[in-house]
Amino acid sequence: MHKDDDEARVGLAKDGLPAEGDAPGLTRAGEGPLDAFVSGAAYAALGLLGAVFGVVGSFAQDWTVGPVPVAAIVLVALVFAMARLAGLGMGGRLGATIPAVVWGVVVFVMSMRRSEGDLVVPGTTAGYLFIIGGMLAAVAGVMMVPPARPPGDWLLGRAGRIRE
């Protein structure tokens, strides 16, 4: 036996498992093809939820009680709740970002004037409150979701982790 091999074995025995951390042949939870399919389907469902929120909200945002755009205010709160709960449910900011971005795209498309002159989200107080307030609420909802990984992990990877 070579002396370096002995030292490596002793070091591994002292430190536990190597950096990968798993025994050979062991698959981690969330890494199988079925898990990937289910996660993809969940993200697609969240995108569909964002689209439905955008379409329904675009048609409902103009309801007022007197001069107060009550529906737009309620819809802004619902957009915040949608983004935050989607992120918490998926365990990361990507789960919050997908429905928020799809919502924003749908709302912007619904606010563009068509060649016939039709417009779903007009340039009124309620319309601006729905668009601008909804975007701010979506960003706040995404940012209030805790990240799935520690800060800086995207840059340093395993090297940034402190061994205990």
Q: Chunked in runs of 10, what are the mean pLDDT values of the chain (164 residues)?
A: 53 50 55 86 96 95 91 96 96 94 96 86 90 97 88 65 57
Q: What is residue 51's predicted lDDT score, i.e. its pLDDT?
A: 97
What is the rounded CA–CA span in Å between residue 92 and residue 41?
Answer: 16
Give the per-residue pLDDT at 28. Answer: 58
56 token code pair: 């329904």
CA atoms of 105 and 96, how far apart (whole Å): 15
DSSP annotation of 95: H
In angstroms, the CA 53 to CA 79 distance is 8
